[in-house]
Homo-oligomer: A and B are copies of this chain.
Amino acid sequence: MKLKRYAYFLTASLLLSAPAFAQTAPAEPKPLLGFDAAAATAQYQLETKFDAQLKTDNLRDWMKRMASRPHHVGSPHGKDNADFMAGLFKSWGYETRIDVSYVLFPTPKLRLLEMVAPTPFKAGLTEKPLAEDATSGQTAEQLPTYNCFSKDGDVTAELVFVNYGVPRDYEELERRGIDVKGKIVIAKYGGSWRGIKPKVAAEKGAIGCLIYSDPKDDGYGQGDVYPKGAFKPETGAQRGSVLDMPTYPGDPLTPGYGSTKNAKRLDYKKAPTLTQIPVLPISYGDAQPLLAALAGPMAPDAWRGGLPIPYHLGPGPAKVHLKLEFNWKNEPVYNVIATMKGSLYPEQWVMRGNHHDAWVNGASDPLSGMVAELEEARAIGELYKTGWRPKRTLMFCAWDGEEPGLLGSTEWAETNAKQLQKNVVAYLNTDNSERGFLFAAGSHTLEKFFNQVGRDVIDPEKNMSINDRRRAFDLINGNPEAQKDARDRADLRIAALGAGSDYSPYIQHLGIPSMNVGFGGEGEGGEYHSIYDSFDHFTRFKDPNFAYCKVLAQTMGRASLRLVNADVLPFEFQNFSNTVAKYGTEVKLLTDNMRTETDKQAKLLAEKRYEAVADPTETLLPPKAREAVPYLNFAPLDNALLKLEQSANAYAQARKTNTSLSNDRKKELDQLLYQAEQQLLSAEGLPRRPWYRHQIYAPGFYTGYGVKTLPGIREAVEERKWAEADEQIKRTAAAVERFSAQVSRAAAVAAPAPAQ
Residues in A lying within 8 Å of B, measured CB to CB: 8, 11, 15, 215-216, 220-225, 229, 231, 298, 304, 306-310, 435-436, 461-462, 464, 468-469, 472-473, 475-477, 522, 604, 607-613, 615-617
Contact = CB atoms under 8 A, between A and B. Distances in A.
A231 B310 CA distance: 10
Given A306-B306, A607-B11, A612-B468, A522 B617 contact: yes
Contact of A306 (B308, B472, B475): B308
A449 to B, nearest CB: 24
A223 B298 CA distance: 6
Contacts of A309: 220
A339 to B, nearest CB: 39
With a 10 A CB-CB cut-off, give which of A468, A476, A604, A617 has the most chain B CB atoms: A476
A293 to B, nearest CB: 13
A306 B310 CA distance: 10
Q: How many copies does the complex hold?
A: 2
A476 B220 contact: no
Contact of A476 (B8, B468, B610, B615): B610
B522 A615 contact: yes
Contacts of A472: 607, 609-610, 612-613
Contacts of A473: 612-613
A468 B613 CA distance: 10
A521 to B, nearest CB: 8
Given A298-B223, A616-B461, A617-B522, A604 B476 contact: yes
A216 B607 CA distance: 35
Given A522-B617, A613-B472, A304 B221 contact: yes
Q: Top 5 A-B pairs ranked by shortest CB distance? A: A472-B612, A472-B609, A308-B308, A220-B310, A522-B615
Given A298-B223, A307-B308, A469 B613 contact: yes
Nearest to A15: B608
A612 B469 contact: yes
Nearest to A476: B613
Contacts of A308: 215, 220, 306-308
Contacts of A611: 462
Contacts of A304: 216, 221
A229 B607 contact: no
A741 to B, nearest CB: 43
A334 to B, nearest CB: 37
A195 to B, nearest CB: 27
A580 to B, nearest CB: 30
B464 A310 contact: no
A310 B229 contact: yes
27 contacts: A8-B607, A11-B607, A11-B608, A216-B304, A220-B308, A220-B309, A220-B310, A221-B304, A222-B298, A223-B310, A224-B310, A225-B310, A229-B310, A307-B308, A308-B308, A461-B615, A464-B612, A468-B612, A472-B607, A472-B613, A473-B612, A473-B613, A475-B609, A476-B609, A476-B610, A476-B613, A522-B617
A499 B127 CA distance: 53
A224 B11 CA distance: 54
Contacts of A225: 310
A613 B610 CA distance: 46
A229 to B, nearest CB: 7
Contacts of A307: 308
A542 to B, nearest CB: 12
B220 A477 contact: no
A687 B220 CA distance: 45
B604 A310 contact: no
A543 to B, nearest CB: 11
Contact of A310 (B11, B222, B298, B616): B222
A563 to B, nearest CB: 29
A304 to B, nearest CB: 6
Contacts of A436: 615
A224 B293 CA distance: 12
B224 A604 contact: no
A11 B608 CA distance: 9
A475 B11 CA distance: 48
Nearest to A460: B616
A578 B679 CA distance: 59
Contacts of A610: 472, 476
A223 B300 CA distance: 11
Contacts of A8: 607
Contacts of A222: 298, 310
A96 to B, nearest CB: 39
Contacts of A607: 8, 11, 472
Contacts of A462: 611-612
B475 A604 contact: yes
Nearest to A298: B223
A11 B604 CA distance: 12
A461 B616 CA distance: 7
A221 B303 CA distance: 11
A308 B219 CA distance: 10
A15 B472 CA distance: 57
Nearest to A228: B310
Nearest to A459: B612
Nearest to A601: B476
A8 B608 CA distance: 11
Contacts of A615: 435-436, 461, 522
Nearest to A472: B612
Nearest to A297: B223
A462 B522 CA distance: 54
Contacts of A522: 615, 617
With a 10 A CB-CB cut-off, give which of A222, A223, A308, A610 has the most chain B CB atoms: A308
Contacts of A604: 475-476
A435 B616 CA distance: 11
A622 to B, nearest CB: 10
A302 B221 CA distance: 11
Given A222-B310, A469-B612, 4 more contacts: A220-B308, A225-B310, A472-B612, A522-B617
A216 to B, nearest CB: 8
A608 to B, nearest CB: 8
A540 to B, nearest CB: 11
Given A8-B607, A229-B310, A308-B215, A477 B224 contact: no
Nearest to A475: B609
A417 B8 CA distance: 63
A39 B223 CA distance: 68
A593 B604 CA distance: 33
A202 B608 CA distance: 51
Contacts of A476: 604, 609-610, 613
A76 to B, nearest CB: 37
